[in-house]
Amino acid sequence: MSEIIELLVKLNDPKFQPIEQFGSARLRRIAKSVCSESIQAETLGGEIASRLSKLSPKSNVANGFKMAAEDEKYHADFFRCYQRKYWNETDSQYSQDIDILRDELLGDTDFSSLAAKHAALEAMATVEFDYLSKLFDTTILGEGYSRARIDELRHVRLGVSVVRRFPPAKIEPIIEFIFFKAMPPRKTLIFFSNLLQVDYISIYNDFKSSINDLMRALTVDKSLVNQFEEEFYSEEINSYRVLPEDDDEDEDEETTSPSPDSPDETDEEK
Ligand SMILES: [Fe+2]
Ligand SMILES: [Fe+2]
């Protein structure tokens, strides 16, 4: 059962109106955009899990992915409800990156291969959700990321167990996918680096160590992983450049409750 359901029930209660403290208007704008993008990402997570459930060779495995698909539905519902409640919006922000991933993943009809790719994406989500839960730690949104993360960790374990039980015929294309598709793009790493005010390399290392854990769990040959990592890293270094910080003027005012005389805040539900 998803950890997020309890929050979803609260959000649907009209009497539940906590004041969300984002610390600054800039962080609040980022929360708005990340929440919106999460709807699309969670929807894709649910589509892949339900595809895996259909491709599963055994019914107990199929059930595991069916439950994972339900978790993702609750996650998407949480971000959708949150968006409606606090920003009075219903659209999710369209991300082309997620669309490209969808085509790539839904084009793979091999159960073990898709399960391994899915596990890698879930592992990357656990790192991102950890950052987001810390960034928004005084808010329901942050609590949502923290609870969704517990589910994603369970999905990674499910993926690892089935990939070990049904090893993919070819591992190389999967490792290539993990480094060049599942690993967040450089712009995402820079985004977190600027936002968390930690250097790019330590952000890179957080994602990379999550990949290493996954590779170890999948008992992938280390020299093979090193070979892909070297290729990835050289591309990364060649094209690496720090983007300027986004030029949002970083207003310091604490974001508080919606107030009629604050035009930036009037989009919250009254
Ligand atoms: Fe999720
Ligand atoms: Fe998940």
pLDDT (tens digit, 9 = 90+) per residue, 149-180?
Answer: 999 999 999 999 999 999 999 999 999 999 99
Question: How many domains does one find in the chain?
Answer: 1
Whether 113 shows a pLDDT value over 70: the answer reads yes
CA distances from 96 to 40, 105, 207, 258 (A): 10, 14, 21, 32
Whether 256 shows a pLDDT value over 50: the answer reads no
| 228 domain-assigned | yes
- Going from the Cα of 5 to the center of ligand 2, the distance in angstroms, rounded, reads 14
- Going from the Cα of 3 to the center of ligand 2, the distance in angstroms, rounded, reads 12
**Spatial contact of 52 and 8, defined as CB atoms under 8 Å apart:** no
Predicted pLDDT of residue 245:
52
| 63 domain-assigned | yes
- Going from the Cα of 109 to the center of ligand 1, the distance in angstroms, rounded, reads 21
pLDDT band at 237 (very low <50, low <70, confident <90, very high): low
Ligand having the closest approach to the CA of 148? 1
| 232 domain-assigned | yes
- Going from the Cα of 151 to the center of ligand 1, the distance in angstroms, rounded, reads 7
- Going from the Cα of 262 to the center of ligand 1, the distance in angstroms, rounded, reads 34
> Dihedral angle at the C-alpha atoms of 124, 128, 134, 135, nearest 10 degrees?
170
Block residue for tokens 């499910």:
158
Ligand having the closest approach to the CA of 152? 2
**Residue count of the chain:** 270
- Going from the Cα of 247 to the center of ligand 2, the distance in angstroms, rounded, reads 33
Query: For the domain that residue 117 is a member of, what is the CATH number?
Result: 1.20.1260.10
Helices (H), the chain: 5-11, 25-55, 59-87, 96-106, 111-135, 140-165, 172-177, 186-196, 200-217, 222-239
| 53 domain-assigned | yes
- Going from the Cα of 148 to the center of ligand 1, the distance in angstroms, rounded, reads 6
Average pLDDT for the chain: 87
Instruction: Give, to the nearest 10 degrees, the angle between helix 140-165 and helix 59-87.
Output: 160
- Going from the Cα of 258 to the center of ligand 1, the distance in angstroms, rounded, reads 29
- Going from the Cα of 130 to the center of ligand 1, the distance in angstroms, rounded, reads 13
pLDDT (tens digit, 9 = 90+) per residue, 60-83?
Answer: 999 999 999 999 999 999 999 999
Nearest by Cα to 38 from 2, 83, 70, 100: 83
Cα 219 to Cα 87: distance, rounded to the nearest angstrom: 45
Predicted pLDDT of residue 17:
85
Ligand having the closest approach to the CA of 144? 1
> In this structure, how many other beta carbons lie within 10 angstroms of the beta carbon of residue 91?
9
| 5 domain-assigned | no
- Going from the Cα of 65 to the center of ligand 2, the distance in angstroms, rounded, reads 10
**Spatial contact of 119 and 160, defined as CB atoms under 8 Å apart:** yes
Residue span of the structural domain in which 141 resides: 23-243
Whether 259 shows a pLDDT value over 80: the answer reads no
| 12 domain-assigned | no
- Going from the Cα of 99 to the center of ligand 2, the distance in angstroms, rounded, reads 17
Q: Which bin fits 23, alpha (ψ -120 to 50), beta or left (φ > 0)?
A: left
Ligand having the closest approach to the CA of 39? 1
- Going from the Cα of 244 to the center of ligand 1, the distance in angstroms, rounded, reads 30
| 55 domain-assigned | yes
Q: Which bin fits 4, alpha (ψ -120 to 50), beta or left (φ > 0)?
A: alpha
**Spatial contact of 211 and 178, defined as CB atoms under 8 Å apart:** yes
| 99 domain-assigned | yes
